[in-house]
Amino acid sequence: MALKWQDFTLKGARDYQIAEAAESELVRVRDLGMRIGLLDDEILPHGHYVAKVDYMKVLERLRDRPDGKYIDVTAITPTPLGEGKSTTTMGLVQGMGLRGLNVTAAIRQPSGGPTMNIKGSAAGGGMSQCVPLTPFSLGLTGDINAVMNAHNLCTTALNARMQHEFNHDDAFLAKRGLRRLDVDPHRVNMGFVMDFTCQCLRRIIVGLGGKADGYMMESRFDIAVSSEVMAVLALASDLKDLRARLGRIIVAYDWTGKPVTAEDLDVAGAMCAWMVGAMNPNLMQTIEGQPCFVHAGPFANIAIGQSSIVADRLALKLSDYHVTESGFAADIGFEKFWNLKCRYSGLRPNAAVVVATVRALKCHGGAPVPAPGSPLPREYGVPAPELVEKGLPNLLHHVRTVRKSGISPVVCINGFVSDTREEIEIVRRACEAEGARVAVSEHWLKGGEGALELADAVKEACEDRTDFRFLYELSMPLRDRVELVAREVYGADGVDWAPEAASKLHMYQEDPVTAGYGLCMVKTHLSLSGDPMLKGVPEGFRLFVRDVLLYGGAGFVVPVVGGISLMPGMSSSPAYRQVDVDTATGRVKGLF
């Protein structure tokens, strides 16, 4: 492409300005799709540069084609600013593209909550972005909206059913083909969802008013991408599987403790109707024109945090190398990729990239924790090799976690202009002593040109012999699995249980169906422990599980660690303050 990094990143251009300049160079999405082997009727355009892909047609047509190499991108424990996994994913794909390789990426669609709050749009940054930025950041083709509508329709159906059962007798219900469900209002699993961070909605009362105003009870709002419907989208193999999983979502329990599902409410079919279009992955591109699939949602700390199985299957049939992204660090995102996504998909990775920054290593080494929206503390802008050295155990811990899966880790030092040669060499020596490949990458600054060393290291790692194995089998008791993840992945001394959490886990273990569900941990992403303030590699801590949720549609038992919430809060200096529109052209500015 004609964009020159010297004209942008060296001159302090903002991400949205670089993305805007790239739009004149973009490949039309129909041409992009055909270039990677899609047929015309498999490409469903949403404008000139974004399309849905009819995955069912493609997978049927290419069912006998061998899969390409499969690469996951994860990271060390991040600072609150993030360490650049999406940027690295885009840069790696661009670097491999410059090497002449047939390569694709899959990333998750950003939530409006982080986009308008702290983290930004998660499109990457600098010269390594997924574009066009505006549709990517502001709803894309409506998948999250479909998730919200399907979820809220289910919650609405539940409240309406409770209202009518409360106000009418069995004869009234029978005339309408309904049986009494006798929902216990104190055991309702599902609240409502919205795609913003709004802490005032974490606990609400619904149904205030009279008999016609719904059933009065306590409820809540969670952020949309934490919905079990989003997890179902990430895991479903096709529409039939999607429909079945939606029907199994446990919405509440009756007074005897029996689950009440979306199927019991006769709402699962309508939920699926909202989700039909959302099952098709979205096709976009990097700044340098490599194809990028965008599908499913973020938040590996409170959700599965993976791009969809469908998107990965599709891309592996279309390319020789496919790079997928997992949320947050290897203790959260990679652990779920490893033990959940790969288990359900049947796909086996060839390599994993662990993204590290000198900035994060300094944080784990004792530098003040950087705060979004505030100036970086002095330690991050001056040489501090002693802090980098002290922070290395966190990186090495994640490298060892990846190794436990039986695949080769590649450490990517995501370069910042403030990094010194001495600091980088400290990281390189430590990782190579651990037996990991190491590459310094300047993809943010230079795009694919800056990621060639990383591209070569990843290509080489993909040729290593792998011995992929799960951390546990699903036959292992649930309590033992939680203990194993806590000890082997987080480094905890053990697990403590709130009485209610222990009681729920025992109940799920006694049920032969739920005893075999996958384990999806909910934990802070800012520490290996459950305490976000404990940096580095904490020792002598125990994990406290305060609750256990059950996702019947996704097939997950979900232990909730510490005080983490499914509805994040809005910061005092949110990103939406910088977003505006050029009213003469209609262009959105200020996204990052």
From CA 504, how far away is CA 557, in angstroms rounded?
10
Catalytic: 171?
no
Tell me 381's DSSP state. T
- Return the structure tokens found at 383: 């040489």
Q: What is the number of alpha carbons within 13 Å of residue 516 lying toward its C-beta?
A: 5
Q: What's the helix, strand, coil split of the chain in %, to 5?
A: 40, 20, 40
Helices and strands of the chain, counted as H and E runs: 21, 25
From CA 111, how far away is CA 197, in angstroms rounded?
10
From CA 551, how far away is CA 533, in angstroms rounded?
29
Catalytic: 221?
no
Catalytic: 69?
no
Residue among 328, 497, 556, 592 flagged as catalytic: 328
Residue among 108, 243, 362, 523 flagged as catalytic: 108
From CA 141, how far away is CA 149, in angstroms rounded?
14
H helix or E strand, kind and range, residue 539: none
Catalytic: 244?
no
Catalytic: 497?
no
From CA 152, how far away is CA 150, in angstroms rounded?
6
Residue among 52, 69, 85, 317 flagged as catalytic: 85
Instruction: Choose among 337, 353, 354: nearest CA to 394.
Output: 354
Catalytic: 119?
yes
Can you list the pairs that 258-263 forms with residues at least 24 positions away whose Cβ atoms lie under 8 Å?
259/552, 260/158, 260/181, 260/183, 261/552, 262/154, 262/157, 262/553
Catalytic: 141?
no
Using alpha carbons, list the distances in angstroms from residue 44 to 142, 147, 295, 359, 462. 14, 20, 15, 42, 32
Whether residue 206 contacts residue 272, with contact meaning beta carbons closer than 8 Å, is answered with: no
H helix or E strand, kind and range, residue 559: strand 556-561
- Return the structure tokens found at 291: 């194809």
Query: Cβ of 506: how many Cβ atoms within 10 Å?
Result: 13
Residue among 221, 274, 337, 444 flagged as catalytic: 444
Residues with Cβ < 8 Å from 231, sequence gap 6 or more? 303, 304, 520, 551, 553, 554, 556
Residue among 61, 270, 416, 498 flagged as catalytic: 416
Catalytic residues: 85, 87, 108, 119, 300, 328, 416, 444
